[in-house]
Amino acid sequence: MSPLLVRQLGMQEYEPIWHQMQQFTADRNADTADEIWLLQHPPVFTQGLNGKPEHILNKGNIPVVEIDRGGQVTYHGPGQLVVYCLLDLKRNKLGVRQVVTALETAVIEYLAKQNIQAVARKDAPGVYVDGAKISALGLRVKRGCCYHGLSLNVDMDMTPFNQINPCGYKDLEVTQLKDIGVHHSMADVEKDLLHHLINQLSIDSFDLVDGFVA
């Protein structure tokens, strides 16, 4: 079986990528290599399976997409790193909670390298710095495989977060790397966070490619 494939996809519209994740998961078999997709999205609110309309306070001109991950509403936009994990949980002997912990710990370790203390919360998945959310996450599991993943706010326009109750929490503060003194390029954040995530998932090797053509 081929090693994990990491795809660097750049800026991508949300809905086509979501449907490609669904299709990839539907089509894969026991020998399909796992993949991680690194990308950014144009402005979009995504509403999870448990999402309540009242948590969208004012969508303005930003589209709202109702999707199949867990959780409530969140925002994606330029300057936010999105990491989608398309993994065969059964083959890797991983539970959903283990993947969530791996995602959170990868972000926490990355921030620790920048001398930033961050924590996860059992009651609200994600990563927090001084009570403000810097990374959101959500997964969908089908046929023993997962997709969706995490987002990490790097250097973005944070205004749209004021138009929602992020992840369903009223008055939840949201922050980003830029605002806590971490001024790294998106490419550097991608590379460093990927390193921590690969370690957390105990992956031995991977191939890095641009786009969907290896």
Q: What CATH number is given for 4-210 in this structure?
A: 3.30.930.10
Cα separation, 169 vs 185, whole angstroms: 30
Amino acid at 19: H
pLDDT of the residue at 1: 58
pLDDT of the residue at 73: 92
User: Average pLDDT by consecutive 10-residue portion of the chain (214 residues)?
Assistant: 89 97 96 97 93 90 93 94 97 94 98 97 91 95 95 97 90 95 96 96 90 72
Q: Which are the catalytic amino acids?
A: 167
pLDDT of the residue at 51: 85
pLDDT of the residue at 213: 64
* 3-state SS class at 48: coil
Strands (DSSP E) contained in the chain are 4-11, 35-40, 44-47, 64-66, 73-76, 80-88, 119-120, 127-129, 132-142, 145-153, 206-210
Paired strand residues for 151: 82, 136
pLDDT of the residue at 201: 93
Query: What is the residue extent of each domain of the chain?
Result: 4-210
Q: Per 3-state DSSP, what percentage of the chain is helix, strand, and coil (rounded to 5)?
A: 30, 30, 40
Cα separation, 144 vs 98, whole angstroms: 14
